[in-house]
A and B are shown apart, each in its own frame.
Chain A
Amino acid sequence: MRRSDLGEFEEVVLLAVAALSPNAYTVAIAEELESETGNLVTSGAVHAALQRLEQKGYLRSVWGEATAERGGRRKRLYAVTALGGRVLQEARAVRSRLWDRILPSIRLEWS
């Protein structure tokens, strides 16, 4: 797995799409991430990540319904592709393996 394939923020966004599916769109993802991390997440940043992910083939999107609070504009709903799922799985595996290698005593010392 190459480093450039999935950035950290991209990974989080990809995960959020997977978690929010089938209702994953920019605003929902941004809000989700904001509430999860407590940091400010702009929709622009999320949108940019979504665009990149879609280009890489990890996501696909369809037009969703229009709502009044969007000024009658449609939203774009994102879903994880099979490739995206695999990439997520792989990322998770890498992390688990690394976690597993950390000795329990060290983990205790952190806290």
Chain B
Amino acid sequence: MKSKKSAPGPPPRFVTNFIKMLVAPHLREEILGDLQERYYRRMQQQGAAKAGRRYWLESLAYLRPAFIKRQKEAFPSTFLLDSAMFENYLKITYRTFFQNKLYSIINVAGLSIGLAAAMLIMLYTKDEISYDQFHEGVSQIYRVDRKIIKSEGIAANSGYTGYFQGSRFSAGVPEILAFVRLQQAQVEMKMGTEIQLQAVSLVDSNFLSVFTFPLISGNAKTALLDPGSVVITEDMAQKQFGTTDVLGRTIFLKDGKGFNPVTVTGVAKNCPQNSSIKFQVLRPLNVSASEESVNENWFRFFLNTFVVLAPNTNVQTLNAKMQKVFEADAAESIKMIREKYGLADVGLSFFLQPLTEIHLSENVPASDGLSDAGNPAYSYILSGIALFILIIACINFVNLMVARSIKRAKEIGIRKAIGGNRNQLIVQFLGESFLLCLAAFVLAILLVQVVLPVFNQLSGKALALSYLVDFKLIAGYIILFISTVLLAGFYPALIISDYNPVRALNARFTLNGKNYLQKSLVVLQFGLASFLIISTFVIFSQFDFLTSEKLGYDDSDLITIEKWSTKHDQAALFKEQLMKNSNITGVAFKNNGYSGNTVKVNQDQKVNITYETIDASFIPLLKIPVLKGRNFSRSYPSDSTHSVLVNEAFVKQAGWKEPVGQEIAFFDTHEKYRVVGVVKDYHFKPLTEKIEPQLFTMNPGSDYGMFYIKIKPGSETSSLKYIAETFKNMFPLDSYSYGFKDQENLKSYEAEGKWKQILLFGAILTIFISCIGLLGLSVLSAETRTKEIGIRKVLGASVAGIVASLSRDFLKLVLIALLLAIPLAWLAANKWLENYPYRIALNGWLFAFSAMIVIMISLLTISFQSVKAALANPVNSLRSE
């Protein structure tokens, strides 16, 4: 305790503050003075503790209405949202809106574009994250995935498993309640005389009870029990029969050699668009016990296995259990495979992946027989672009609102002078922003409706506006709206309401200060826009590179026909038929797709290869240069049995100096071949993949699956007709489909094409909205400097000089923005290009060009107004004051 004589300290602050807050302002000084005086006196007389207690008591005595009641002001202020004032606000809003049509349209249009972009992205992301959520008990459904650790330490993940894993794992792990296998197949289907290739999903009979795909007719439990049954979707039923009432009707599907009738036992609703599993035709997957238990089946992967787990199962421990089952069960076959293929150092393990994670998984995506693997990067990039656009639109809103308010300074001054207080002004301007945002919001919804088809095409989705009717999404839009109103409206409201009435009523009112915020907002806008423009240029150049780079072979006028398992003699007959037409200049065969294999060279060195079966005319038809040795030839009968061609990459990997005549041996069959020629590396796969060692044989044992037909340029129509007829005659039971090789090659770059378009749109939008904002600001700048310009002109300044003086400030900002954006864009572009083995080199020109474009566009925008101001007759601007 302090001595009685000590200097008085302040009274308890908490109490003081409380009183300060509570009592009316006009009484505050007196009351606080009284309290403090009494406190000090008491302290000197009775000590600090007692004085403190008394201080409390004294303060409490002020808790009465007489002290709390605020004094009435001389001029009563109106209620914040007085109806008369509200009407006035509306009127003023309406008038200012139509007085400055240009600004208003810029503002609302920009904002609605930004909002629409944000809405679309919200739709997109909602769809992306809602994938596969519609299944009942989805939290218990997992897919069995596998991981192969290669000798180089690279792990290859895949969702593919075989017949074997489902039954073995569910037998060995009690937590697995059920399993469903799903195999995708292309099956020829007959309707009348028409034969078409149809995607058919082969599934276990419990498929419809594990997954929630409701049937509109038929029994989900029994529909897939009979091997001769088939379940089709509504769309499929409509397409095939013209009605959905098709229970018991017959479809012909190709089985083995001929067409077999199957009976429709169920019609399912069309698969939801946000489903990884999409089917049109479901057939029972009938695997005999003998088929399933072939020794190597642990190591054959070609279908998806889904398992249903008991509730609340720990997946980690389950993965370990599964691994034990696998190691115990597969021990024999592992041993055997190691001996046979020499894969001693390869590890295999199985793990579970939740169904809901498949769509956006980067680890094991939905690509394995499932549709629509989503790339989370798309969601991020799209959201980023939408955010960019929205921010830029909001910045415009802020800048234009503040800029316009300068013209309204008189109104604000008068409002303040006649007693409007700051809160009222804030309410008024926030209200105006609110109304503009509301208009923009409504426009945005219309805009979304209009561009949705385009967006669907871009994003490869089937989104509809009805998607909007979702509680979470509506909440999201409301949040978006409110934050836009606050983001775009709050700052102008604060700035405007802060005007000094005396200065605001003065005719030569300008914004005080250096406006760092406004300037940095402009820099931010143009920084974002420049970033997107540079990125777009990079993607364009890379895309251009990918699509125009020489592939190393000639893909022009080349028609491809896919036909599985064609025997060599059939193919030769087909070729003979085709060559009768003079428009067809060449025919070659190849196996379908690319199969991987391993060969031994130099005694025991292993080379992983892509293995192709071709005929002698393949290399010359595609104009692939043979660098060493020779092409296959009919004059060497041994070519079809003992000769191979290899590519340069193979030679490099084998380390051969003299490749021709070297011996290679296949790992699995131990067959020995001799290299007769080396072909130049060519991009047999898209440029997004590196050229790997490739090996060609003419092995008559393996079937062809792809025909290459070279036609004379300009004869497409007649040649195609002839080819189709010949095909039908030769292979009446097969479906016919053709493609042009060069177009097919382009298809490999769909992802890049999509990025290109998305970014292009984003870049155009951002630069457009940024320029709109810049236009508004330059108009303002020219207007506030009308007099200055007039005087300069009278004193003899040139138009060019005035334009320069008006543009300089803005151009500086744009330049700063570019300086900030270029390094960032460079980093991002580099990161992106790392994904491509064949890529463009980033050079200064690309950036210089982008910078030029940004500068040109902004200069154009600014000069539009500057020139107008500079050309104006100074008499007009100087006459009135």
Contact = CB atoms under 8 A, between A and B. Distances in A.
Interface of A: 25-27, 30-31, 40, 42-45, 47-48, 51-52, 66-67, 69-71, 73-76
Nearest to A75: B33
Contacts of A70: 33-34, 36-37
B517 interface: no
Nearest to A48: B66
Interface residues of B, number: 23
B64 interface: yes
B298 to A, nearest CB: 88
Interface stretch (B24-32, B112-120, B281-289, B861-869): B24-32
Contact of A73 (B29, B57, B59): B29
B324 interface: no
B58 A44 contact: yes
Contacts of A31: 38, 41
B34 A69 contact: no
Per DSSP, chain A at the interface is helix
Interface string B731-744: 00000000000000
A45 B40 CA distance: 19
A91 B119 CA distance: 79
B574 interface: no
B58 A69 contact: no
Contact of B41 (A40, A45, A52, A69): A69
A69 B36 contact: yes
Given A69-B37, A71-B33, A74-B30, 13 more contacts: A27-B37, A27-B38, A27-B41, A30-B38, A43-B34, A43-B38, A43-B58, A47-B34, A47-B62, A47-B67, A70-B34, A74-B33, A76-B30
Given A43-B35, A69-B36, A69-B40, A75 B67 contact: no
Contacts of A75: 30, 33-34, 37
B36 A44 contact: no
Contacts of A30: 38
A44 B38 contact: no
Nearest to A28: B37
Interface in B36-88: 36-38, 40-41, 57-62, 64, 66-67
Given A69-B40, A71-B36, A42 B30 contact: no
A77 to B, nearest CB: 11
B8 interface: yes
Nearest to B30: A76
B469 to A, nearest CB: 60
Contact of B31 (A40, A47, A52, A67): A47
A66 B29 CA distance: 10
A51 B66 CA distance: 8
Given A71-B36, A73-B29, A73-B36, A44 B67 contact: yes
A71 B60 CA distance: 20
B62 A44 contact: yes
Contacts of A52: 66
Nearest to B8: A69
A75 B36 CA distance: 11
Contacts, number: 66
A69 B10 CA distance: 10
Contact of B34 (A26, A40, A51): A26
Nearest to B19: A44
Nearest to B65: A48
Nearest to B40: A69
11 contacts: A26-B34, A27-B41, A31-B38, A43-B35, A44-B31, A44-B62, A44-B67, A47-B30, A47-B67, A48-B66, A70-B37
A38 to B, nearest CB: 15
A26 B29 CA distance: 13
A66 B32 CA distance: 12
A70 B35 CA distance: 8
Contact of A48 (B35, B58, B64): B64
A90 B32 CA distance: 35
- Of all A-B residue pairs in the complex, the 7 with the closest CB atoms, nearest first, are A44-B61, A73-B33, A70-B33, A42-B61, A69-B40, A44-B62, A43-B34
A43 B61 CA distance: 8
Contacts of B61: 42-45
Contacts of B40: 69
A101 to B, nearest CB: 37
A101 B37 CA distance: 44
A94 B805 CA distance: 89
A48 B69 CA distance: 12
Contacts of A25: 34
A10 to B, nearest CB: 13
B470 to A, nearest CB: 59
Contacts of B67: 44, 47-48
Given A42-B57, A44-B58, A69-B41, A26 B64 contact: no
Interface string B1-23: 00000001010000000000000
A27 B40 CA distance: 11
B163 to A, nearest CB: 90
Nearest to A71: B36
A73 to B, nearest CB: 3
Contacts of B30: 26, 47, 73-76
Nearest to A42: B61
A52 B60 CA distance: 19
A67 B66 CA distance: 25
A69 to B, nearest CB: 4
A17 B57 CA distance: 23
B12 to A, nearest CB: 13
A103 to B, nearest CB: 41
A71 B66 CA distance: 24
Contacts of A74: 29-30, 33
Of listed A47, A48, A52, A75, residue having the most chain B CB within 10 A: A47
Nearest to A68: B40
A26 B31 CA distance: 9
B69 to A, nearest CB: 10
Contacts of A44: 31, 58-62, 64, 67
Contacts of B34: 25-27, 43, 47, 70, 75
A1 B215 CA distance: 96
A31 B54 CA distance: 13
Interface in B679-738: none
A42 B58 contact: yes
A30 B58 CA distance: 11
B103 to A, nearest CB: 51
Contacts of A27: 34, 37-38, 41
Contacts of A76: 30
A49 to B, nearest CB: 10
Contacts of A67: 37
Contacts of B59: 44
Interface in B565-603: none
Nearest to B32: A73
B671 to A, nearest CB: 104
Contacts of A45: 61
Contacts of A51: 66
Interface string B198-214: 00000000000000000
Nearest to A49: B66
A42 B8 CA distance: 20
B59 to A, nearest CB: 8
A67 B64 CA distance: 26
A60 to B, nearest CB: 15
Contacts of B57: 40, 42
A34 B38 CA distance: 12
A31 B40 CA distance: 13
B86 to A, nearest CB: 36
Nearest to A72: B33
A70 B31 CA distance: 10
A75 B34 CA distance: 7
B22 to A, nearest CB: 12
B786 to A, nearest CB: 51
A52 B64 CA distance: 13
Contact of A71 (B32, B41, B62, B64): B32
A44 B32 CA distance: 11
